[in-house]
Amino acid sequence: MSNSDTAPEILRTVDGQPLKEALTRASRSARIRAFLLVLPLLVFVLLTFVVPIGQMLSRSVVDEKFSENMLQLGAWFAENDSLIPDEAAYAALVADLKVASAQRSAGNVGTRINYELPGTRSMFTSAARRADEMAPPFKEAMLAQDPKWARPDLWAAMRSASAAATLNFYQAALDRQIGADGTFEAAPENVQIYVKLFIRTFVLSVVITGLCLLLGFPIAHLLATLPLRYASLLMILVLLPFWTSLLVRTTSWMVLLQGQGVINDLLVWAGIVGDDGRLEMMYNQTGTIIAMTHILLPFMILPLYSVMKTIPPSYARAARSLGATSWTTFRRIYLPQTVSGIGAGGILCFILAVGYYITPALVGGADGTLISNQIAFHMQKSLNWSLAAALAAMLLASVLVLYWAYDRMVGIDNMKLG
């Protein structure tokens, strides 16, 4: 270039560009090339995974079943903020119910309010059927139809449902409901399920992770210290369950654990329990814990093993030669070196356990089910999709926190399988 003699200290490439710029350009194009390789998959995962889940989660704060059908009442709520409905409010209600009756959407409207106040759906459907016959004054007409229309909590529920965006489903997922004065309060003891269910899910996951650690640690230690020939043979015993279908393993546990199953038969035959005292190990928490421990055990053993394999045995020998007992050696020398493996396996097991669905659904019975089963229930049976989405959002949030912790501790790129 022309000014090369004025600034001789700048290094240049053969074709005269400053070396720094050429290098920046080359590394930028290398970065773009690498990114372009990843791009198709990233777009694919975003489209088939991230976007669907995001859209599903948006349902947890939006429900239009009431707001899009009850326009006049919505307008009344926007103008008045009193809790006592006047004649105009009842007139708006009846007008909306007439439209809803014509469009056959009264059931949807009722369903939305029914989420907040159980038992109110039929009030909407039957009032909508009669709406055409009603004449002013509408307040008296509605109260003659059903005196429950004067309930303040019903009006509070309708007010909160008149906006499409709502946090009510999160309130419901936290066992709170609309009280008589229109504000949220804790639901009665006997209908509080979700907080208990979350606690149960976390407690069971901790128990299962703990059991996996208890059973996985000796196995991983044995595999890491045996000569590789024997270790790779025994490794098959760990990997075979890992590769076997989840449903197969769950089925096996159902066969083993049921009242007339193999374990009970064995116990009766051995005389440990009487024929009438067969243990109930299935359709309760015991079943969930046993089956899930078995299923998640390889996820604990494999990370532990890969950490333990890197621990040089000479450290333990050095400790022994310096006078430590074998217990002290284990506690002070060996155990601290396995902490990263314990963390990796523990978090992985816990993440997988928290979101488990199939095994609890099949062997869990009533008190061995987890939060996933409740989400499935609201998706398939009660059809309260927004509540399902709110529960899913809370579950997902806790899993993502754990995932972040896993990344900080182990690094996602260090994850290994088999």
Within 274-333, which residues bind another protein (CB under 8 A)? 294, 297-298, 320, 326
Is residue 51 a contact point for another protein (CB under 8 A)?
yes
Q: Among 96-104, 138-146, 219-227, 333-341, which window interacts with another protein (CB under 8 A)?
A: 219-227
Q: Among 49-57, 102-110, 128-136, 272-280, which window interacts with another protein (CB under 8 A)?
A: 49-57
Give me the DSSP letters along 247-286: HHHHHHHHHHHSTTSHHHHHHHHTTSS-GGG----SSSHH
Please say which residue, 82 or 245, places its beta carbon nearer to another protein.
245
Please say which residue, 57 or 71, places its beta carbon nearer to another protein.
57
Is residue 50 a contact point for another protein (CB under 8 A)?
yes
Q: Do residues 358 and 250 touch, judged by C-beta distance below 8 A?
A: yes
Q: Least distance in Å: CB of 120 to another protein? A: 26
Tokens 């260090």 -> residue: 414
Is residue 395 a contact point for another protein (CB under 8 A)?
yes
Is residue 34 a contact point for another protein (CB under 8 A)?
yes
Q: Do residues 379 and 335 touch, judged by C-beta distance below 8 A?
A: no
Please say which residue, 119 or 418, places its beta carbon nearer to another protein.
418
Q: What tokens appear for 158 in the block?
A: 């309708």
Q: Least distance in Å: CB of 338 to another protein? A: 15
Q: What tokens appear for 267 in the block?
A: 């116990």
SS3 208: helix
Residue from 4, 17, 122, 232 touching another protein (CB under 8 A): that is 232
Q: Do residues 250 and 363 touch, judged by C-beta distance below 8 A?
A: yes
What is the Cα gyration radius of the chain?
A: 32
**Using CA atoms, how far apart are residues 369 and 384, in angstroms rounded to an integer?**
19
Within 371-390, which residues bind another protein (CB under 8 A)? 372, 375-376, 379, 385, 388-389
Residue from 75, 226, 267, 324 touching another protein (CB under 8 A): that is 226
CA neighbours closer than 13 Å in the CB half-sphere of residue 189? 0
SS3 312: coil
Q: Least distance in Å: CB of 412 to another protein? A: 5
Sketch the per residue contact string, 236 through 275, with another protein: x for CB under 8 A, - otherwise.
xxxxxx-xxxxxxxxxxxxxx-x-xxx--x----------
Is residue 196 a contact point for another protein (CB under 8 A)?
no
Residue from 25, 31, 129, 332 touching another protein (CB under 8 A): that is 31
Q: How many residues bind another protein (CB under 8 A)?
A: 94
Q: Among 25-33, 85-93, 116-124, 274-282, which window interacts with another protein (CB under 8 A)?
A: 25-33
Within 54-93, which residues bind another protein (CB under 8 A)? 54-57, 59
Is residue 44 a contact point for another protein (CB under 8 A)?
yes
Residues comprising the chain, all counted: 418
One-letter amino acid identity for 226? L
DSSP state of 331: I
One-letter amino acid identity for 340? S
**Using CA atoms, how far apart are residues 186 and 172, in angstroms rounded to an integer?**
9
Residue from 150, 207, 222, 267 touching another protein (CB under 8 A): that is 222
Distance (Å) of CA 115 to CA 17, 51, 386: 69, 27, 10
Residue from 16, 52, 118, 137 touching another protein (CB under 8 A): that is 52
Within 352-371, which residues bind another protein (CB under 8 A)? 354-358, 362
Distance (Å) of CA 393 to CA 169, 185, 402: 11, 22, 14
Please say which residue, 251 or 340, places its beta carbon nearer to another protein.
251
